[in-house]
Amino acid sequence: MQFFQWIATNWQAVCAWTGGLYLTYHIGRLFASIVLALNSWVKRFQQAETTLVTMSTNHLPHIQAELEKTSLAVLQSNSLLLDIRRDLRAVLKIEENEQQ
Protein backbone atom coordinates (compact mmCIF):
# COMPACT_ATOMS: atom_id res chain seq x y z
CA MET A 1 0.00 0.00 0.00
CA GLN A 2 2.82 2.34 0.80
CA PHE A 3 4.28 1.74 -2.67
CA PHE A 4 1.10 2.88 -4.39
CA GLN A 5 0.94 5.96 -2.22
CA TRP A 6 4.50 6.82 -3.18
CA ILE A 7 3.62 6.40 -6.87
CA ALA A 8 0.52 8.53 -6.41
CA THR A 9 2.57 11.36 -4.90
CA ASN A 10 5.50 11.01 -7.34
CA TRP A 11 3.72 10.02 -10.54
CA GLN A 12 5.16 12.97 -12.46
CA ALA A 13 8.74 12.01 -11.61
CA VAL A 14 8.03 8.34 -12.46
CA CYS A 15 6.58 9.35 -15.84
CA ALA A 16 9.52 11.71 -16.51
CA TRP A 17 12.06 9.00 -15.72
CA THR A 18 10.16 6.43 -17.81
CA GLY A 19 9.92 8.87 -20.73
CA GLY A 20 13.60 9.78 -20.37
CA LEU A 21 14.65 6.13 -20.40
CA TYR A 22 12.41 5.46 -23.41
CA LEU A 23 13.88 8.44 -25.27
CA THR A 24 17.41 7.34 -24.35
CA TYR A 25 16.61 3.86 -25.67
CA HIS A 26 15.46 5.23 -29.04
CA ILE A 27 18.42 7.59 -29.36
CA GLY A 28 20.73 4.67 -28.58
CA ARG A 29 19.02 2.53 -31.25
CA LEU A 30 19.38 5.34 -33.78
CA PHE A 31 23.03 5.82 -32.93
CA ALA A 32 23.67 2.07 -33.10
CA SER A 33 21.98 1.79 -36.52
CA ILE A 34 24.10 4.69 -37.83
CA VAL A 35 27.27 3.04 -36.52
CA LEU A 36 26.26 -0.30 -38.09
CA ALA A 37 25.56 1.38 -41.44
CA LEU A 38 28.93 3.15 -41.37
CA ASN A 39 30.62 -0.12 -40.45
CA SER A 40 28.88 -1.83 -43.38
CA TRP A 41 30.04 0.90 -45.78
CA VAL A 42 33.61 0.65 -44.54
CA LYS A 43 33.56 -3.14 -45.02
CA ARG A 44 32.25 -2.71 -48.56
CA PHE A 45 35.03 -0.26 -49.41
CA GLN A 46 37.61 -2.58 -47.89
CA GLN A 47 36.27 -5.50 -49.93
CA ALA A 48 36.34 -3.38 -53.10
CA GLU A 49 39.92 -2.33 -52.35
CA THR A 50 40.92 -5.95 -51.72
CA THR A 51 39.30 -7.00 -55.00
CA LEU A 52 41.12 -4.26 -56.92
CA VAL A 53 44.46 -5.17 -55.36
CA THR A 54 43.88 -8.84 -56.16
CA MET A 55 42.96 -8.01 -59.74
CA SER A 56 45.94 -5.73 -60.20
CA THR A 57 48.40 -8.30 -58.93
CA ASN A 58 46.72 -11.26 -60.61
CA HIS A 59 45.23 -10.11 -63.92
CA LEU A 60 47.28 -7.13 -65.09
CA PRO A 61 50.38 -9.17 -66.04
CA HIS A 62 48.15 -11.47 -68.11
CA ILE A 63 46.50 -8.50 -69.81
CA GLN A 64 49.90 -6.98 -70.53
CA ALA A 65 51.13 -10.23 -72.10
CA GLU A 66 48.04 -10.41 -74.33
CA LEU A 67 48.51 -6.77 -75.37
CA GLU A 68 52.11 -7.48 -76.30
CA LYS A 69 50.99 -10.47 -78.42
CA THR A 70 48.38 -8.29 -80.12
CA SER A 71 50.96 -5.58 -80.78
CA LEU A 72 53.31 -8.12 -82.36
CA ALA A 73 50.49 -9.47 -84.55
CA VAL A 74 49.63 -5.94 -85.71
CA LEU A 75 53.26 -5.26 -86.59
CA GLN A 76 53.47 -8.50 -88.57
CA SER A 77 50.26 -7.76 -90.46
CA ASN A 78 51.52 -4.24 -91.14
CA SER A 79 54.71 -5.57 -92.73
CA LEU A 80 52.66 -8.10 -94.72
CA LEU A 81 50.42 -5.32 -96.02
CA LEU A 82 53.47 -3.28 -97.01
CA ASP A 83 54.83 -6.27 -98.97
CA ILE A 84 51.49 -6.70 -100.74
CA ARG A 85 51.50 -2.99 -101.58
CA ARG A 86 54.97 -3.23 -103.07
CA ASP A 87 53.92 -6.26 -105.13
CA LEU A 88 50.82 -4.49 -106.41
CA ARG A 89 52.84 -1.42 -107.38
CA ALA A 90 55.30 -3.60 -109.22
CA VAL A 91 52.47 -5.37 -111.09
CA LEU A 92 50.82 -2.07 -111.93
CA LYS A 93 54.11 -0.64 -113.28
CA ILE A 94 54.57 -3.70 -115.50
CA GLU A 95 51.05 -3.29 -116.88
CA GLU A 96 51.69 0.43 -117.45
CA ASN A 97 54.89 -0.33 -119.37
CA GLU A 98 53.08 -2.93 -121.47
CA GLN A 99 50.30 -0.52 -122.36
CA GLN A 100 52.73 2.17 -123.52
For residue 100, the model assigns a pLDDT of: 65
56 confidence band (pLDDT: 50, 70, 90): confident
Percent of the chain at pLDDT exceeding 70: 98
How many CB atoms are located within 10 Å of the residue 14 CB?
13
Residues 10, 48 share a domain: yes
4 and 53 together in one domain: yes
Same domain, 32 and 74: no
Decide if 7 contacts 14 (C-beta within 8 A): yes
Residue 59: its pLDDT value, please?
76
Cα 85 from Cα 91, distance rounded (Å): 10
Number of domains comprising the chain: 2
Q: To 10 degrees, what angle do helices 2-9 and 11-58 make?
A: 80
Mean pLDDT of the residues in the chain? 90
What does the pLDDT look like over 34-51, one tens digit per residue?
999 999 999 999 999 998
DSSP annotation of 72: H
What is the rounded distance in angstroms from the CA atom of residue 28 to the CA atom of residue 40?
Answer: 18
Is the same domain home to 74 and 51?
no
User: What range defines the domain where residue 7 resides?
Assistant: 1-58
Chain centroid offset of residue 37 CA: 18
| Same-domain check for residues 29 and 71 | no
Whether pLDDT at 71 is above 70: yes
